[in-house]
């Protein structure tokens, strides 16, 4: 065990190196993006889909070929898929706004709407609630999903709880996947509000990191079997398959909900970029090619995840925190000792390593225990990542010393 | 003058030909889209902007190069431009929703919000109001803009009037451009509501058809001079410059409004498709090249507009309606004799020529005089357009005979 002055000395040495490493967001690295570069000269003169000139207006919710290509990601029939623009976040935001202004929550505006927010969770989900004045009820996320006893109690008792955010597979940031039993309980549970909706952000549905991937039950099927067909909206995108910002976003829901979505979309937009949809169709051909592509990406990403967990194990052992080694997704969630997260992130920043802000994984940026830090290993090359994680580990240890005083 | 049985005979002959021509929307033809085909292999390996890897996340509101390229369209500095996705309609919808849920209209929801809608006007503007339960107050559009006396009276008297839709240049569908005096009166007028907003949809800002184009005063500058800097949101897109659905949408407003827009966008979306922004930058280089490009497009579009007005003049003279020969834009507006529009559109459809529905240019699809028809000459080749306009003229005449009975 190093003492405080040794740690301080080690930290000051690193700081003097003037590092500049950004691990703040789940950004793919150039090494991963390169695998999709062939898209950048597509479609060329091959701009006709079977039925449409993709250079022109219509169809509103995606060309049939892109629905066929991408529907296996959400496990629905192609007809059921609704293709959006380049951002599934925008589709989620739109879904909430649509229900608030024109849909089932029209009569429940303002303080009367609350969402269950699983923690630690995805900061952008919480930001949408905060922006739209939707209340947030925190529930802890465990190793196989959220605390379902508590969720069942909350939704059975409180009519004002209208929704929940879920990242059900390779959860952001903890990397866990919901068990079949959790999915079934979501589908079956009794809700006091008839208009309770699950926003099922399946962002990492095909983003496996190794040969023992997790699997997830199809919640839309389960909701239909349970007699609650309209309960769930599922989302995904190819932002971390091809290009972030240059990808294709999609959603799926019951036929009744989908009619409502499409009618509204027809008023709100001219539809997504069909040339980009076609670009994905020409680049991949079929879903098997997407699966192969994702294996190439994980070949680059896995060594980065391994680097993070190896250095955490080597440097921190079990005294300074816990973390989970995920089978997929984009993050490693580090739970340090209570009261150390903000100080750790601050020390890292001063030493030139930018992490996601401590607290970001909680509503209102407020981690009550000040312990969770989201580590995003995807962007830096492995050598930089090693250096960054060494900075991280020294900072964790020093933060513990500082906080202990 | 033909009698009814001659007209009926002529109509039945055309109907027997089994035509199938669609003039329902303002779609560019393949002949126009072809001018942008070189974009379909861009950016290739040239995917770095000056400061960003355009394949990855950020920046939120557009790469600096695309702002520089497109800002002359709205007549603002590059820094002022906010780049969206592929749809300016989505940006307008978002602007209204944002003000309703989080902005200056937050306290004025539901029936309390009304918009002034200029008629005849753009059906999609009216559809957004209808969908969001915003009331619509009709005001007639004249040859140099709307009836400003009436508008000034309405906004001075009625606190519930929070906005107005304008297509100020080459208006959809009448093709007129607002005079300088009209723009200045918009900027200066006293409004009872402090939160009155102009949605300035400058969709056809650079879409001239001949060498005597209209010109439009910059309303943002005028609003600032008049001490009402936050009054206007300006919008445009390259949907009818490059590809509909594959274009770039943009907006501009005061700095105060823009701060609000960007803060909200940061919650709502990951930002637009930067690869498509870069595609536009690489294809055009600078704004002069966009101007040259638009001249090539008008070389294709002008003969189509000429075809429509020549056939209208030749076949209908002045007995059956009036129309305006625009200097730009995408439409010719035909005002027939009262009570004939629906019947004309129906007869055309039965003879295989699909027009925009009669009434579509009015709120709730209700043209009180049943006289306005929007003609969209852009899509069909000239030979098909000739045939379609002959069908149109026979249908107008026959509709007059039928209605007169």
Q: How far is B103 from chain A (nearest CA, A)?
A: 10
Judge: A244–B273 Cβ closer than 8 Å, yes or no.
Answer: no
pLDDT category of residue A51 using cuts at 50, 70 and 90:
confident
Tokens coding A251: 């959603």
A111 pLDDT more than 80: no
Q: How far is B184 from chain A (nearest CA, A)?
A: 30
CB contact at 8 A, B165 and B122: yes
Q: What is the pLDDT, as a whole number, of residue B1?
A: 61
What residue in B sits closest to A26 (Cα-Cα)?
A: B57
Instruction: Rounding to the nearest 10 degrees, give the CA dihedral for residues B81, B87, B93, B96.
Output: 0
Residue A266 binned pLDDT confidence (cut-offs 50, 70, 90): very high
pLDDT at A110: 53
Q: Does the distance separating the beta carbons of A276 and B246 come in below 8 Å?
A: yes
Rounded to a whole number of angstroms, the distance from the CA of A100 to the nearest CA of chain B is 9
Confidence bin at B404 (pLDDT 50/70/90): confident
CB pairs under 8 A between A and B: 167
Q: Give percent of chain B with pLDDT exceeding 90.
A: 93
Find the closest chain A residue to B90 by CA distance. A269
| pLDDT (tens digit per residue) in A196-222 | 999 999 999 999 999 999 999 999 999
pLDDT at A41: 97
Measured in Å, how far apart are chain A's first and last C-alpha atoms? 17
Mean pLDDT of A347-373: 97
Rounded to whole angstroms, the Cα distance separating B159 from B320 reads 41
Report the pLDDT value the prediction gives residue B273, as an integer from 0 to 100.
Answer: 97
Per-residue pLDDT for B109 more than 60?
A: no
Query: Does residue A79 carry a pLDDT above 70?
Result: yes
pLDDT at A323: 96
Using one digit for the tens of pLDDT, what is the confidence trace for B47-65? 999 889 999 998 999 999 9
Kindly report the average pLDDT of chain B as a whole number: 96
Distance from CA of A92 to the nearest CA of B (A): 8
**Residue B143: is its pLDDT beyond 90?**
yes
What is the distance in angstroms between the Cα of B227 and the nearest Cα belonging to chain A?
29
Instruction: Say if residue B110's pLDDT is above 60.
Output: no
| Three-class SS state of B56 | coil
d(CA B259, CA B374) in angstroms, rounded, equals 38
CB contact under 8 A, B245 and A273: yes
Confidence of residue B380 (pLDDT cuts 50, 70, 90): very high
DSSP reduced 3-state for B403 = helix
Mean predicted lDDT score pLDDT of chain A? 96
Q: pLDDT value at position A137?
A: 97
Predicted pLDDT at A24: 87
A43 CB neighbours in chain B (<8 A) are 40
What pLDDT is attached to residue B249?
Answer: 98
B269 chain-A contacts, CB cut-off 8 A: 87, 89-90, 93
pLDDT score recorded for residue A396: 98
Once rounded to an integer, what is the mean pLDDT over residues B103-112? Answer: 77
State yes or no: pLDDT of A4 exceeds 90: no
Mean of pLDDT values over A257-283: 97
Nearest chain B residue to A94 by CA distance is B268
CB contact under 8 A, B275 and A243: yes
**Residue B4's pLDDT band (cuts 50, 70, 90):** confident
What pLDDT score was predicted for residue A405? 77
> Which positions in chain A touch B133 (Cβ < 8 Å)?
101-102
Give the residue carrying structure tokens 């098997």.
A288
Q: Which residues of A200-234 are buried (b: 16+ CB within 10 A; e: fewer)?
A: bbbbbbbbbbeeebbebbbbbebbbebebbbbbbb
The nearest alpha carbon in chain A to B244 belongs to: A56
**pLDDT recorded at residue A50:** 87
Nearest alpha carbon to residue A199 among A274, A126, A95: A95
Q: Which structure tokens are listed for B41?
A: 């292999």
Q: How far is A314 from chain B (nearest CA, A)?
A: 32
What does the pLDDT read at residue A278? 98
Smallest CA–CA distance from B276 into chain A, residue:
A246
C-beta separation of A129 from A162 below 8 A: no
- Per-residue confidence (pLDDT) for residue A166, from 0 to 100: 98
The pLDDT-based confidence of A109 (bands split at 50, 70, 90) is low
pLDDT tens, residue by residue, B32-50: 999 999 999 999 999 999 8
Beta bridge partners of B4: none
| B-chain residues near A131 (CB < 8 A) | 102, 264, 267-268
Give pLDDT tens digits for A272-326.
Answer: 999 999 999 999 999 999 999 999 999 999 999 999 999 999 999 889 999 999 9
Return d(Cα B350, Cα B337) in angstroms, integer: 21
C-alpha–C-alpha distance, residues A208 and B387, integer Å? 58
- Report CB contact under 8 Å: B25, A131: no
CB B138 within 8 A of CB B363: yes
């Amino acid at each position: 065990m190093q003492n405080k002055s040794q740690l301080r000395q080690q930290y000051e040495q690193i700081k003097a190196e003037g590092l500049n490493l950004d691990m703040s967001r789940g950004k793919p690295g150039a090494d991963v993006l390169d695998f999709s570069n062939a898209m950048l000269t597509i479609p060329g003169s091959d701009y006709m889909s079977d039925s449409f000139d993709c250079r022109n207006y219509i169809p509103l919710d995606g060309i049939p070929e892109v629905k066929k290509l991408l529907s296996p990601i959400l496990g629905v029939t192609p007809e059921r898929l609704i293709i959006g623009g380049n951002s599934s976040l925008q589709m989620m935001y739109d879904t909430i706004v649509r229900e608030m202004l024109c849909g089932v929550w029209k009569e429940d505006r303002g303080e009367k709407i609350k969402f269950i927010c699983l923690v630690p969770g995805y900061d952008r989900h919480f930001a949408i609630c905060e922006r739209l004045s939707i209340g947030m009820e925190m529930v802890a996320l465990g190793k196989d999903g959220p605390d379902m006893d508590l969720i069942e109690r909350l939704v059975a008792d409180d009519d004002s709880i209208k929704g929940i955010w879920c990242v059900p597979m390779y959860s952001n940031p903890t990397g866990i996947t919901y068990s079949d039993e959790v999915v079934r309980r979501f589908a079956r549970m009794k809700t006091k509000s008839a208009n309770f909706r699950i926003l099922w952000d399946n962002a990492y549905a095909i983003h496996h990191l190794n040969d023992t991937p997790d699997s997830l039950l199809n919640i839309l099927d389960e909701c239909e079997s349970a007699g609650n067909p309209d309960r769930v909206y599922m989302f995904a995108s190819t932002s971390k398959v091809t290009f972030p910002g240059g990808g294709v976003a999609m959603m799926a829901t019951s036929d009744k909900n989908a009619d409502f979505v499409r009618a509204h979309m027809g008023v709100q937009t001219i539809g997504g970029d069909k040339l980009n949809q076609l670009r994905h169709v020409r680049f991949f051909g079929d879903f098997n090619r997407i699966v192969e592509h994702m294996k190439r990406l994980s070949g680059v990403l896995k060594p980065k995840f391994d680097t993070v967990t190896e250095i955490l194990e080597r440097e921190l052992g079990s005294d300074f925190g816990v973390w989970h080694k995920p089978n997929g997704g984009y993050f490693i969630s580090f739970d340090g000792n209570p009261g150390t997260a903000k100080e750790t992130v601050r020390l890292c920043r001063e030493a030139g390593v930018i992490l996601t802000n401590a607290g970001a994984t909680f509503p209102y940026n407020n981690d009550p225990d000040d312990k969770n830090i989201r580590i995003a290993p995807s962007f830096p090359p492995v050598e930089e990542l090693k250096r960054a994680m060494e900075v991280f580990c020294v900072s964790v240890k020093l933060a513990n010393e500082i906080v202990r005083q």
